[in-house]
Amino acid sequence: HLTKTSPTSSIPEPHVVIFPLPIQGPVNCMLKLADLILSLSNSAVSVTFVVTDFIHRRLIHHSTTAARLGKNFRFETVPDGLGDGGDDDENPRGLYQLADMTNTLQGQAQAEGSRLRAVLAYGAAEPGLKKAVTCIIADGFYGCMVDVAKELGVPLVYFETISPCGLWTYLCVPNMLRTRDLPFQGENDLDAAITSVPGMEAYLRRRDLPSFCRAYDPKNPIIQLVLNQVKNFPKAQGHILNTFDELEGDYFHNLRALCPNLYNIGPLHLNLKCRLKQKSTKSISNTLWQEDRQCLEWLDAQPRKSVLFVSIGSLASMTKDQLMEIWYGLLNSKTRFLWVRRPGSIIDDEGGKEAAVPIEVVEGTKERGCVVSWAPQEEVLGHEAIGGFLTHCGWNSTLESIVGGVPMICWPFFVDQQVNSRVVTEVWKIGLDMNKDECDRVVVEEMIKELMGTTRREEFLARAGVMAKLAAQAVDVGGSSYNSLNRLIDDIVYMRF
Ligand code: UDX
């Protein structure tokens, strides 16, 4: 879209360092952002993408984007502190390692003389590769980056990779502590209303707050990271949000008041697909696992809107008990299903080691279902055979479902997922909220029948269709996310931060 001339040689060339959290969701959408910056700036910008060694190894094996990005793109790698052989190499690091990895990486970013510090300042540690950095785009969870960027004299834009509604509840934690909504007082009534999250009073209950609010403990490392994020939020030069204006509700003007320079550029995967004029997302996959593309052939053979897609994302795990409840719920509902069982996502009931899937489930699947260890999810949710999504409500999954016009059954696990599930069901009304705190085969069966059966199916599909249309308009020429993305690229190219 750039019509103006490139920056003259008297000013440094634009060079962005992108620094995601080392987990699938953030890596995926920040690589998509890198893709957009490179293609829309006509190579006027170079991008250095900082990942951990572990993520890098997985991306070069499985991502189709990385090979396509050209000479203005470079990976830089840093250690995540967990060692090379300590974890099962088949599984990327999970939620329980997130706080440790974030603290390790923040420590490196703050340490004078560290490799990461040099990469943030110059895009590289090796003298021959160094080039002044004109903007850092870091995940909003790295609260320390405000000080690091200030010390390095580089503007900082945060990419908030969680949902804006989840982010807003994070930002309200100090207010909730002041009003004693937190820690929960008296009886542990999870249905009690939360009144100190402005704009969400009408529907937010204790059970809808991010998981770390339950048994609130200021010493919990995730809470400490969140509080640091909250403190530093208003100090960045801008914030990128993976959302579109038309999706956001009453609370959003409060968020904007804290940081007026917001770039709502989502749904990012749709924005990228439109800008690259791609019909399929096959060539823009940033996956950390090997995708099983055969499930698309299986879907081709199923009737329209007949299949429930089941996936709990890249970090969550279910116990064997929960697996059996989901399984019998699915079986008794008599619905066709496509189920992702990621390596490591089924654990024993004590919550520890990976558990084997019982033979009755393996055998029983063959009749009406298809099971894969990792799916090309964006394509699956865009397939016409998919009629519903039983999801953990991770923010990327939620957006991908909205884009596909697919109604959801929400079974949230942690962080922003609890808030997302409430907004999906109570505000957008494009799904059903499974009782968040127990997984019961009767509930699963009833919800599937309600979502996919004849009585309410058309109602859900119609509403989901409207949302999908709004998303498509937002990224189309002149739409809200289209314009926001142009503004972001211009601000990067002309170094306006
Ligand atoms: C976590 C949090 O739970 C989420 O709420 C937060 O916003 C980011 O970090 P995660 O479990 O990774 O997310 O879920 P989600 O945000 O939905 O991202 C999962 C990604 O993996 C999606 O982009 C999805 O398309 C992809 N995926 C998942 C696949 O490509 N194939 C699969 O089989 C399953």
pLDDT digits (tens, 9 = 90+) for 301-315: 999 999 999 999 999
- Ligand 1 lined by 24 (C-beta under 6 Å): yes
pLDDT at 87 over 90: no
Ligand 1 atom with minimal separation from the 162 CA? 7
pLDDT over 70, % of the chain: 94
Which of 3-7, 153-157, 274-278 ranks highest by mean pLDDT? 153-157
Q: What's the average model confidence in pLDDT over 246-256? A: 93
Residue 343: the pLDDT is 85
The predicted model gives 388-394 an average pLDDT of: 97
Residue nearest to atom 20 of ligand 1 (CA): 25
Query: Does residue 452 have a pLDDT over 50?
Result: yes
pLDDT for 1 equals: 43
- CA of 297 from ligand 1 middle (Å) equals 23
What was the pLDDT predicted at 356?
A: 83
Mean pLDDT of 469-474: 98
| Tokens 């199923």 -> residue | 302
- CA nearest 485: which of 250, 216, 262, 237? 262
Cis, bond preceding 127 (omega within 30 deg of 0): no
Mean per-residue pLDDT of the chain: 91
Q: How far apart are the CA of 451 and the centre of ligand 1, in A?
A: 22
For position 287, what pLDDT does the model report? 86
The answer to whether the CB of 395 is under 6 A from ligand 1 is yes
Beta strand pairing call for 318-319 and 307-311? unpaired
Residue with CA nearest ligand 1 atom 14: 394
Is residue 378 lining ligand 1, measured as CB closer than 6 Å? Answer: yes
Q: Ligand 1 pocket: which of 102, 397, 399, 416 to mutate (most atoms <8 Å of CB)?
A: 397
Going from the C-alpha of 274 to that of each of 73, 258, 262, 425, 472, the distances in angstroms are 21, 31, 21, 28, 9
Determine the Cα–Cα distance for residues 222 and 300; give it in Å rounded to an integer. 42
What is the pLDDT averaged over residues 8-15? 75
Q: Within 13 Å of residue 185, how many CA atoms lie on the same side as its CB? A: 9
**Cβ-Cβ contacts under 8 Å for 466 (sequence gap 6 or more):** none
- Give the Å distance between the CA of 230 and the centre of ligand 1: 23
Atom of ligand 1 nearest to the CA of 391: 17
**If you measure from the C-alpha of residue 27 to the centroid of ligand 1, how many angstroms do you get, rounded to a whole number?**
10
445 C-alpha vs ligand 1 centroid, how far in Å?
A: 24
- By alpha-carbon position, which residue is closest to atom 5 of ligand 1? 394
**Res 111 pLDDT > 90:** yes
By CB atoms closer than 10 A (0-12, 13-18, 19+), residue 20 is buried
Average pLDDT in the 19-32 region? 95
Please state, in angstroms and as integers, the Cα–Cα distance from residue 41 to each residue in 1, 36, 222, 230, 255, following that order.
8, 8, 37, 32, 29
Nearest CA, atom 8, ligand 1: 25
Rounded average pLDDT over 464-480:
97
Residue with tokens 């959408």: 29
